Amino acid sequence: MSISQQTIEQMAPDQASLNAASKLMKPAKWPVLGSDGEPKLIWGECQGSGSTPYRVVVDLSDHGYKCSCPSRKFPCKHVLALMWFQADQAGLFTPEDVPQFVTDWLGRRRGKSSAAAPAKEKSGDAPSLGAITDDEPKPRDEKAEARADAQRKRSLENREQSMLAGFDELDRWIGDQTGQGFAAFMPDAQSHCRQMAQRLVDAKVSGLATAIDALPSELFSLPEAERTAFLAQRFGGLHLLSQAYRRQDMLEDNLRADVRRLAGWPQKRDDLLADDTALRIKADWIVLALRSEIQPDRLRRIETWLVRCGPPGDQPRFAVLIDFVPVAGGSVANPFTAGEPISAELVFYKSAAPLRAQIGERGSKPEQAGWPAAAQSLAEAMQGYYAALTAQPWLPAWPIMAANVCLAETGNQLVMRAAVGNPGLPIDPKLREKLLPLLGLDNIEMAGLWDGRTFSPMMAATPIGRWMDW
């Protein structure tokens, strides 16, 4: 997501503001230039005449902005300069965790109260970047650029050291919890995890902070008999990730990318799409399911699950598109619909088990997109799961598709199993009522997520038609 020079011209209150902004277009004046991973948000600190720099933030999705300077012009020269940097020199922005002053501003936003003024009709005396950039070309300040590069390197080195200290603290915390016993941990799991998550946020290990914040809700959603094993598995995985991060130089590139992403290092969408080594698959896809949940960090996680439409005999290929939207921004409509066919080239994030992707190119909507013929048996689909888990041991869940399955009840538990009969996979109890109409049907082809404990169906082809988890 970027901003155009035309938009900056339309937002500028007058030509004088653009002239003033041009004088701030020196990296040395901005000790901090940061963005989130998309980027949807950019921010910076601009050194003014006082001892405290002005803090500036811009939301690229709707051009909302905020600056701590006392200017009576809106947007001020600092906001215009920050947007100008993004339009002309986006590489200056370092992907970072969203700082507190940006989070606080997002939380206060309501509707479009902070958004930019409507675009003005262009006229002969309207503000123009050309009046500056054409008539007053700015010489390249190599020393300032070198200082900015050095500052970014120091910031990255400081973050690495901070994250390693955070992992040290995580290991001590895991040792304390396991040493005291899980029975002592469970009654105060919420407070234990909240405190540890906050320390990880301070250490910039944001990925694990979110995972630990969500741990209590996952724990208490399980039957009591399964909780001890769950904690042992989860703490073991966290410790393994901690050790892997310290030894990341010994890992192959794809697994190293997983470890850094899980720890909290973002990858810009534009960087991914520009990566010639990234896995790219151009095909027709079916939207399997749409999922949305609010994370403890007050971000809404929006998932769009896809499966490739392939000829009979092909192994199913899955993908997930993930977006994060601040809850303070209100509800967001998903542009896709469950069951919808799309034609697109997907670009996959580097991973030992590639799954998350971005859309590189959209094609015209396919006239026909048949259900992918799943030649796999349930046993073969589970072999695929174990292979993915071996390659990337921190998978929270993995999509599988199996043919010739049916649903059956064993006591109060609904299971998916091969038609010939076996213990099968337990179905997520929350989906029981939705799946009851499929009881008694054979020869079902079903796709869903298996997390090692329960299976969550997303879509199925049945003798009586297609079933979807609306």
pLDDT at 132: 61
pLDDT value at 295 more than 50: yes
Q: Which of 6-15, 90-99, 191-200 is the most confident on average?
A: 191-200
Burial 6-45 (b: 16+ CB within 10 A, else e): ebbbbbbbebebbebbbebbebebbebbbbbbbbbbbbbb
* pLDDT at position 115: 42
Task: Give the pLDDT confidence of 444-469 residue by residue, as tens digits.
Answer: 999 999 999 999 999 998 998 889 88
The residue among 449, 242, 218, 467 whose CA lies nearest residue 338 is: 467
The percent of residues above 90 in pLDDT, for the chain, comes to 47
The pair of structure tokens assigned to 310 is 């392939």
Average pLDDT, integer, range 235-243: 96
pLDDT at 149 exceeding the cut of 80? no
Rounded CA gap, 398 and 383, in Å?
Answer: 12
The percentage of the chain sitting over the pLDDT mark of 70, rounded to a whole number, equals 87
The stretch 248-263 carries a mean pLDDT of 96
Long-range contacts of 132-135 (CB under 8 A, 24+ apart): 132/18, 132/19, 132/22, 133/22
Mind listing the pLDDT tens digit for each residue in 373-391? 656 889 999 999 999 999 9
How confident is the model at residue 106, as a pLDDT? 82
**What is the mean predicted confidence (pLDDT) over 119-144?**
56
Average pLDDT over residues 120-146: 58
Q: pLDDT-derived band of residue 50, with 50, 70 and 90 as boundaries?
A: low
Banded model confidence at residue 278, pLDDT cuts 50, 70, 90: very high
Residue 133 has pLDDT above 50, yes or no: yes
Torsion of CA 382, 383, 386, 392, to 10 degrees: -110
Summarised one tens digit per residue, pLDDT across range 203-228 is 989 889 989 999 999 999 999 999 99
Q: Which two tokens stand for residue 392?
A: 């990337």
Sheet holding 318-326: strands in order across? 318-326, 299-308, 280-294, 341-348, 357-362
pTM exceeds cut of 0.75: no
- Region 149-178: mean pLDDT is 90
Maximum mean pLDDT: which of 11-15, 298-302, 343-347, 373-377 = 343-347
* Residue 372 pLDDT grade (very low, low, confident, very high; cuts 50, 70, 90): confident
Q: Which of 22-31, 174-183, 294-303 has the highest mean pLDDT?
A: 174-183
Architecture of domain 269-362: Beta Barrel (2.40)
188 pLDDT more than 60 = yes
Q: What mean pLDDT, rounded, does the chain reach?
A: 85
Residue type, 117: A
Q: Is the pLDDT of residue 24 over 60?
A: yes
What per-residue confidence (pLDDT) applies to 130?
A: 61
- Structural contact between residues 307 and 401, judged by C-beta atoms closer than 8 angstroms: yes
Question: Does the pLDDT at position 48 exceed 60?
Answer: yes
Q: What is the arithmetic mean of pLDDT over 291-316?
A: 80
Rounded Cα distance between 87 and 18, Å, is 14
Identify the residue with better confidence: 341 or 133: 341
Q: Is the pLDDT of residue 138 over 60?
A: no
pLDDT at 394 over 90: yes
- For the cut 70, the answer to whether the pLDDT of residue 123 exceeds it is no
Specify the range with the lowest mean pLDDT, choosing from 100-114, 245-259, 293-307, 426-440.
Answer: 100-114
User: Which pLDDT does position 329 carry in this prediction?
Assistant: 62
3-class DSSP assignment, residue 458: strand
CA pair distance 350, 76, nearest whole angstrom: 40
With cut-offs at 50, 70 and 90, classify the pLDDT of residue 238.
very high
With cut-offs at 50, 70 and 90, classify the pLDDT of residue 39. Answer: confident
Amino acid 129: pLDDT: 62
Per-residue pLDDT at 438 exceeds 60:
yes
Is the pLDDT at 3 greater than 60, yes or no?
yes
Give mean pLDDT, residues 342-352.
Answer: 95
